[in-house]
A and B are shown apart, each in its own frame.
Chain A
Amino acid sequence: MKAQQGKEKVIVLENVVKTYSMGDASFNALDGVDLSIEKGSFVSIMGPSGSGKSTMMNILGCLDRPTSGAYWLDGQQVADLSDDELATVRNKKIGFVFQNFNLLPRMSALQNVALPLTYAGVPLAERLRRAKAALEAVGLGDRINHKPNEMSGGQRQRVAIARAVINEPAILLADEPTGNLDTKSGEEVMKIFAAIHEQGRTVILVTHEPEIAAYTQRVIYMRDGRIVQDETRV
């Protein structure tokens, strides 16, 4: 499991439990998860629906707090931060890529990509310069002023990836990033993830497609809120 022994860990989960209660009934979406992910790894999390992988994604992405347990992200304990502190962590350390792109429809590609920098307090000129460079890096240098609805699905997802990496986050979290794409666009997007990984970033994918998971070095299988299999390919 720990093939790259001694490498710095970007994510450490210790006995993380997430309980949802509905009226009197309650169930554990995450039921005591222990996990550590090294910096610079390319990981996929798989599992059927209801296995807790979405909850895992929310916890890892600091969109939600675990009910109990500890979570160190990039050396910082984030399990019991306030809402605003979590927002800052999301801004600085996490890049999100969603299945349905989640771009702001009224903004141009450039404005969408620059948005995280706004909340980081970066001056406007620098924001636009960096956003333009990020779009060029995903091959959309000629589309910077297009609105999302003027682009194809693959292009939109590339805008979303540019937005996710603009703040140079510690981890890149992608939730079914190819779920809404045709095969060809999906392959392009996966190549971009691979390239980002090549640059030394930590990339975590949540997917139920084995072909997508095949791009990654390590595959974590989940079922009923637990990690049931964790395989690392060399």
Chain B
Amino acid sequence: MVWESVLIALESLRVNKLRSILTMLGIIIGVGAVIAMVAIGLGVREKVKGSIAGLGSNLLIVTPGGVSPTGIRLAAGSGTRLTLDDVRAIQREVEGAIYVIPSVQRQYQLIAGNQNWTSSVEGTSPDWLGVRGFEVVSGAFFGSQDVDARARVAVIGQTVALNLFGEVDPVGLSIRIDKAPFKVIGVLGAKGQSATGSDQDDIVIIPVTTAMQRLQGVTYINRISIQAESETVLDQVQEDVTQLLRSRHRLSATMPDDFTVRNLSAIMEAAVETTNTITLLLGNIAAISLLVGGIGIMNIMLVSVTERTREIGIRKALGATYRSILLQFLIESIVIGVVGGSLGILLGIGASYVISYFSEWQTFIAPWSMLLAFSFSVGIGLVFGLYPARKAALLDPIEALRYE
């Protein structure tokens, strides 16, 4: 009986081809819009996540800090418990940490020729370039052999280059850092201000060993930066690093950490939340068009009931019950929903590909959006078909037979 009603419904849709297509168009566009809009929203989210990851959101920063033996807590970064051996241990033992770079930093006066300038001098390893997302525009960055050799080489930022050398290409020239001579081997590309307003180009980068032993004469480092493989392993890496450093620093279970591990995932969370809101907004706008499509179904079904009043009368005279008439019209509107929903999914997928092809936006088709839009359209067929179907089923057979 139900299967037959489906066949009758399909037949009726086939007979009124143009009208059926126009009715379905509302659902097709609605479902397609939901899928495409959600796909765009998710694509934007991936893109934003990608750019934030480029800023260093997968970054963990370990600073010494915590409680000194006397109970006095020192400013973060001023402790003396982090060493290059810690860096090597993390590199060796923590899975998911792609780059682990040490950092020692201090302000020094720089002199080149008759110019002088005061800037931050940071000692680090060659991986610094990748972690911080800088480029070398002239010359080259130092390599690990320079670190091993404690070489007196420096890579300078745009601001430093401009203030000390003006328009001259500084590569191959020499500068003095705290009176010690260094050779400039590279110039970094401009990066502008940081989010907090400091000039990111006002830096001098030198090998970490050179900074520790030749400039500062210290055995500890100020900071370890760790780039995790991806956002998903970030928490695990943070946990592993904490455990490793605790055991290396021989801290018993009751003693607090003598270092701090921080991450920048808050930025990522805010961004993801924003793009989620955008996705929801786009999805809602699309859902409204789906609702309009549903009203279209109701409209057509009401017209159909009126137009087929006589048919309903005949069917009732031949023994159709309330339920069989209700079912016939309900199935017809559900079939519109199902067929329209299926075509809408195809449209949505197609539109997502076309949009990503022409706009170079990445789109990501979410299976849940397809499922949601499809079940929504079937539901709309059901809900908006119910009133017309009920109206048909309640018709008086005598009146219906008399209807011209």
Contact = CB atoms under 8 A, between A and B. Distances in A.
Partners in one complex: yes
B311 A104 contact: yes
A100 to B, nearest CB: 9
Contact of B321 (A61, A119, A167): A119
B310 A102 contact: yes
Interface in A89-129: 90-92, 96, 98, 102-104, 106, 115-116, 118-121, 124
Contact of A106 (B12, B319, B323, B324): B12
B74 interface: no
B401 A119 contact: no
A90 B322 contact: no
Interface residues of B, number: 22
B328 to A, nearest CB: 10
Interface in B1-56: 1, 4, 11-12, 15
Contact of A124 (B4, B313, B322, B398): B4
Given A106-B12, A106-B15, A118-B4, A63 B317 contact: yes
Interface stretch (A80-88, A208-216, A225-233): A80-88
A119 B320 contact: yes
A87 B398 contact: no
A98 B400 CA distance: 13
A102 B12 contact: no
Nearest to A95: B318
Contacts of B318: 90-91, 96, 115-116, 119, 163
Interface in B302-318: 310-311, 313-318
B397 interface: yes
Interface in A135-181: 163, 167
Nearest to B317: A96
A84 B317 contact: no
B321 A98 contact: no
B398 A58 contact: yes
Secondary structure of the B contact surface, majority rule: helix
Nearest to A92: B319
A224 interface: no
Q: Report which residue of A58, A63, A104 has the largest number of chain B beta carbons within 10 angstroms of its beta carbon.
A: A63
B314 A104 contact: yes
Contact of A63 (B315, B321, B398): B398
Contact of A102 (B1, B317, B319, B322): B317
A163 B12 CA distance: 21
A102 B15 contact: no
Given A58-B398, A98-B401, A102-B401, A83 B322 contact: yes
Contacts of A58: 398
A64 interface: yes
Nearest to A89: B319
Contacts of B310: 102
Given A96-B317, A115-B318, A84 B15 contact: no
29 contacts: A58-B398, A61-B317, A63-B397, A84-B321, A84-B322, A87-B316, A87-B320, A88-B321, A90-B316, A90-B318, A90-B319, A91-B318, A91-B319, A96-B317, A98-B401, A102-B310, A102-B313, A102-B317, A104-B311, A106-B12, A106-B15, A115-B318, A118-B1, A119-B315, A119-B318, A119-B321, A119-B324, A124-B4, A163-B318
3 closest Cβ pairs, A-B complex? A91-B319, A119-B319, A84-B321
Interface of A: 58, 61, 63-64, 83-84, 87-88, 90-92, 96, 98, 102-104, 106, 115-116, 118-121, 124, 163, 167
